[in-house]
Amino acid sequence: MFQPLLDAFIESASIEKMASKSPPPPLKIAVANWWGGAEEFKKSA
């Protein structure tokens, strides 16, 4: 259930290490989609 969110977190952590100026981090996008509804998040994942 939380695997896509976890993957996004790991990806955003890696990206922030490489380039902290990259807007917006995938984690923020994933969280926004997740709060928008589980079905909406599944469509975007």
Tell me what pLDDT residue 22 has.
54
Total structural domains within the chain: 1
Contacts of 33 (CB under 8 A, 6+ apart): 40, 41, 44, 45
pLDDT tens sequence across 1-45: 678 888 877 776 665 555 555 556 667 776 666 555 555 555 655
What global pTM score does this model have? Answer: 0.29
Tell me what pLDDT residue 13 has.
65
Query: Domain span at residue 17?
Result: 3-44
Tell me what pLDDT residue 43 has.
62
